[in-house]
Structure 1
Amino acid sequence: MLRAVVFGACLLAGGMAAAQQGETLADVKQDLAVLTVELRKLRAELNTTGAPSVAVGGSALDRITAIESELQRVTAKTEELEFRIGQVVRDGTNRIGDLKFRICELEPGCDIGRLSETDPLGGDAGPAPVAAQPAPPPATDALPFDGELAISEEADFRAALEALDEGDYAGAEMLFAQFRETYPMGPLEPAALIGEGRALEAQGHTREAARRYLSAYSGFPDAKVAPEALWRLGDALGALGSVSEACITLGEVALRYPGSDAVSRATASRQSLGCQ
């Protein structure tokens, strides 16, 4: 707050040229030099004289009376300074905005219309800004779950999913594992198992990935991601050389989950493995 007072007072003390036409960058620099000098003067005024103005002595009643009087004086002074600070900040902020406008006029290619709004000096002075509304949580329709989720739970899952989509497989594996530890047996548990399995498979850990897919399918056969888990399990079994088991598993996708997107994927996997 003190910095806001000092800097704002400098802006008030410095005389800025009113004329805008014909102004050069040197004129702007001159204004800044004036402000620097005024800042040094104000810094000198901030130094104490070394002699306190409060003296408390005498009887207990006298001391109480003196303290109450001093408190009233300090309170009144604080209110006065608060009012002055508000004025200084508003005027200083306007002057900073004007300075930005003038500099932009002098710089080739500067778009005045794209200048950002000047923040109040000190960050929190002046009238309290309207509280920003928190950003709404991401839509849950893209998640493999239809119910309500805690904001932190959804955010953690999306962070793991984002790492997977960006190819950070080690990071995704860790994030999905941490998610399952933080929200054990939650509504996104089967999807987290599949995500962790995908991250493992991308790193060449196919056997561990198959275990995650099996856990997702066997533990949550009615989940939205169960068809995908069964398809990925069959695909992983084929990659591990268990072609017969893979063909049987992939064939179960159409039988157990007809109409799901995983059916076409399982069919393609069966064809690539030469299943009969």
Structure 2
Amino acid sequence: MKLKSALLAVLFASSAAVAMAQTPLPEVDPLDDRSVKRVERMEKVVRELRAIVFQGRDTGKPVVVQPAETDAQIAALNDRITDLEQTLTKLNGQNEAVTFELNKANRAAVDQKARADALEQRLAAIEKTLADLQAAAAAQTAAAQNASEAVPPPPPPPADPAVAFKQARQLLLDGDYANAEQAFSTYVTNYPDNAKTPEARYWLGETLFVREAYTDAAAAYIGAIRGWPQTTWGPDATLKLARAMVALKKPTEACRTLDELSKRYPKASSQITSRAASTRVAAKCS
């Protein structure tokens, strides 16, 4: 009875709704689609209600109301919105990672530019120093050429090496360093294996050291002390080599040479020892 009463009530309501739907509506603006859509929705509801009533009447079973199509669409939309939100969250995370890497790359680029600018400045300073050194070397070469042109050429070297050595030594004692340098250089070239050749290299180094040709002087001193000769001039040649290295701004080589001086010539004179100590200070030896 209760079910029948409920069904009759639903049927009555549906009939009333149909009657209302069939009742002529007042004239509206034909362009007002909203009214048309409202009517269509009402008719759809009426059809669904009638189907429910007939289902209960024909089967006598409880009426199962099927979910409306709109509910399924809403559920699908909710799922889609959830997926979009997850995708958006993922994209935001990726965007943050890209932004971090971009900032990191920008900082690296700034650091590289700073290093490049510093290298440019150092290179410019080195180029300027090199240009100054080249200009000074050219001026020194020109001055040396003028000086050599002003000095009369020395007499041709004698055939006897002893006489040649004596003449070169006398030029040095007379203060004629230019001709003494040339004479000792010729001696070393002409008599490379003579017993006096190491000493000639030492005196050649002295003439070069006087005119501050430290590179050539160092080469001459090295040739003189090869084998560490136990001579009166050996300690001085070693000391002069260390001083030439200091002048060439090679303190490490200078300190090593001074170490060899004390090792190879432990009985060197006090004058040599004193000058070696001052040279060690100049080279900042440990």
Question: Shorter chain as normaliser: what TM range?
Answer: 0.3 to 0.5
Kindly name which structure, 1 or 2, has the bigger radius of gyration based on alpha carbons: 2
Higher helix share: 2
- TM-score normalized by structure 2? 0.40
Greater relative contact order (Cα < 8 A, sep 6+): 1
- TM-score normalized by structure 1? 0.41
